[in-house]
Chain A
Amino acid sequence: METRPAMPIPGFNLITGVKQPLIMLLALSMGPASGIAQAADAPQPSELIRAAMEHWRGVTSYSEMTMTIHREDWQRSFSMQAWTEGDKLSLVRVTEPRRDAGNGTLVQDQSMWTYSPKINRILKVPPSMMNQSWMGSDFSNKDISKSTDIIDQYDHRLIGTETRDDHLVYTIESVPHEDAAVVWGREVLVIRDDYIMLRQEFWDQDGILVKEMNTTEIALMDGRNIATRMRMHKLEREQEWTEMSIDAIDFDVELSANLFTLSNLRNPRQ
């Protein structure tokens, strides 16, 4: 693998908002098939990414997924439905197991609300809880709700390109700006030329790898290549991880206008 000279990719920011599993799962897992050719001919990542973002903008999706939380002595799975529109709106609702069914999370840009039918209350997630875990998983509320504008807060650098299974794979190092609201010292992203993120590493400021997310399965769904299985893993806790897998997904679906509203969060109508 040959390391290329450092190359800033400003436009890329929008996608490295990978702190957003939902968007990330979808945004980074899909891409135009034509991307490969472009990338191979003229590796201009910023152009490429801009194209990807354009492609993503306005795309709606409905998916069914499973989240598995694994701990040393237990493991549990949730089945969830998720709707997204663009990169700002998403709604997730738990369907299984029954005792958690109906729990919902609504994200509008930077704001986040949760609803639990057991207490019949909608709670706006306050800043103090943004770093707490989302439904007991290894994702934090912040990971789930983080809006993409945080991405302007990194300096991105292409540190490697290689070919893997007929795909070009880019390794990008993202270092947050001095005043960025990011605790990490740097993040390393491994991204395939069809925008599927293969791997994301979170390094602390002392150069120790704290957590990583790996794509373990890629499949063709509804006409697009999708990362269908991703696992978040904290390195300090060997036995703990959270896995998200997409069971089914439809793109460009009709979504009713009131889908991403608080009233719909409480009383499902779709």
Chain B
Amino acid sequence: MAAHRLHFSVLLTLSWRNLWRNHRRTGIMLGAIAVGVWAMIFMTALMRGMVDDMLNEGIHNLPGHIQIQHPDFLDDPSVANSIAEPAGEFEALLQRIESKRWATRIRVPAVIASERETRGINLVGIEPAAEADVSGLPELLSAGRFLESRKDSGIIIGAKLAERLETRLGKRVVVMSQDPDNNIRERGFRIVGIYRAKLPGLEEFNVYAARDTLQQLLRIEGRVSQIIVVGEDYRDIEPLYRQVRQQAPADLQVRAWYEIDTYLATMFNMMDGFVLVWVIIIFLALSFGLVNTLVMAIFERVREIGLIQALGMRPALILYQILMESTLLLLIGLGLGNGLALATIKPLESGLDISVVAEGMAMMGASSMLYPKLTSSDLLLANSVVILLGVLTSILPAWRAAKLDPVRALNST
């Protein structure tokens, strides 16, 4: 046992000193590892942040984690495909869910007109009290007030739409749509609030009014287009989903967010695999440098290795020594890389402004602020890939060094 510890400390000293014999080469290699590790962690954090933002935003805009609607609603989102407001046992279940976050809404294509312009919109009838929990709309309000009750006679439109209609807060607009019998229904609304969406496209599209007011306008008293349920975390909605599915009336369609928006779901599922691939690609680039460094170090020391072998050092210990050398190199590199990554991510966590390319990002469904998100699992993945695969790739040169024939090695020039 004592001998082992002695071996270990001797080997450690040997490899540590060997490492700094050519400090420039080691320095360059350390730099390469540090930058590689930094790139792995930093870029992963950026991507995680972006995808997380897209998912959150996407789910907010759906909105909700689970939607309940008429089976034909998706094909034809008209008031004809409405459902009854939840009642009886189903309502009791919704009241019981842990998050307490659910709401009904009406969604119908409509036309909005000001004195000078007319535009097609998506008219949404909301329950103002529940809306904050479901879509976070009240937070987006940039001027005016939020709807006060289900019977509020005001309307909330996006800033961009207001601009297009050449109207503004406090003025009246006319909203036109159809009732279930295809009769034209229309009504004047006063603009009581203006909101700013993170994605400019939505600002022009979604217009919010109180639910009961719309039910009356569209002649669908007691009916809604959708029931929206929001769980605690979008990553973990299965139990809730099953529960709602069992309790919902059989003729309704219940769908989770990943079924509603398969693009979001794909993104969500792809992300872990994507991070792994990214880490490995960077590692592959790194590994060539690492192997080259080790091979060079061994090549320079052929005579020396022959000598210590001749003096009685066993090949296994030579193997260990070289592996230790590479491990030390990797550990220092990892330390530097992690430090660098943390040092760059932390100050950016409050948001990185990428509004220069915001238009393109908006097309992808991401907003113009990027919030890097460092997760411990990504950190662990990057570090373990580097150290494990790093040591693995070092085995070959180390093994070759251990295999050297002492006589030949001593005689080589």
How far apart are the CA atoms of A210 and B115 in the complex, in Å? 8
Main secondary structure of the interface of A (DSSP, over half): loop
Q: Mark B111-126, 1 if CB is under 8 A from A, else 0.
A: 1011110101000000
Residues of B within 8 A of A41 (CB): none
How far apart are the CA atoms of A18 and B97 in the complex, in Å? 55
How far apart are the CA atoms of A185 and B115 in the complex, in Å? 9
- Say whether A178 contacts B116, CB under 8 Å: no
Residues of A within 8 A of B200 (CB): none
Give, as a whole number of angstroms, the nearest-CB distance from B215 to chain A: 14
Residues of A within 8 A of B113 (CB): 131, 183
Cβ-based interface call for A179 (8 A): yes
A-side interface residues, number (CB < 8 Å):
24
How far apart are the CA atoms of A34 and B153 in the complex, in Å? 44
Task: State whether A177 and B178 are in contact (beta carbons under 8 Å apart), knowing that A128-B120, A183-B173, A184-B115 are contacts in the complex.
Answer: no
Which partner residue on chain A sits nearest B166 by CB separation?
A204
How far apart are the CA atoms of A132 and B118 in the complex, in Å? 8
How far apart are the CA atoms of A153 and B172 in the complex, in Å? 14
Cβ-based interface call for B245 (8 A): no
Residues of A within 8 A of B153 (CB): 178-179
> Chain A interface: which of B32-40, B60-68, B186-194?
B186-194
Cβ-based interface call for A214 (8 A): no
Give, as a whole number of angstroms, the nearest-CB distance from A147 to chain B: 10
CB proximity to A under 8 Å, residues B346-376: none
Select A205's contact among B109, B115, B118, B183, beta carbons within 8 Å: B115
Residues of A within 8 A of B176 (CB): 127-128, 130-131, 181
Interface centre among A110, A178, A181, A182 (most CB of B within 10 A): A181
- Say whether A183 contacts B186, CB under 8 Å: no
- Say whether B188 contacts A178, CB under 8 Å: yes
Task: State whether A210 and B174 are in contact (beta carbons under 8 Å apart), knowing that A127-B111, A128-B111, A182-B188 are contacts in the complex.
Answer: no
- Say whether B184 contacts A130, CB under 8 Å: yes
- Say whether B120 contacts A205, CB under 8 Å: no
Q: Mark B95-119, 1 if CB is under 8 A from A, else 0.
A: 0000000000000011101111010
- Say whether A111 contacts B190, CB under 8 Å: no
CB proximity to B under 8 Å, residues A162-217: 176-185, 202, 204-206, 210
How far apart are the CA atoms of A111 and B181 in the complex, in Å? 12
Select B184's contact among A111, A183, A205, A206, beta carbons within 8 Å: A111
Residues of A within 8 A of B178 (CB): 126-127
Residues of B within 8 A of A184 (CB): 115
Select B172's contact among A127, A128, A205, beta carbons within 8 Å: A205
CB proximity to B under 8 Å, residues A21-55: none
How far apart are the CA atoms of A111 and B184 in the complex, in Å? 8
Residues of A within 8 A of B118 (CB): 131-132
Residues of A within 8 A of B189 (CB): 179
Residues of B within 8 A of A205 (CB): 115, 167, 171-172
- Say whether A183 contacts B115, CB under 8 Å: yes
Which A residues are closer than 8 A to B by beta carbons? 110-111, 126-128, 130-132, 153, 176-185, 202, 204-206, 210
Instruction: Apart from A182-B174, A210-B115, list 4 A-B contacts with CB within 8 A.
Output: A111-B183, A131-B113, A179-B188, A210-B116
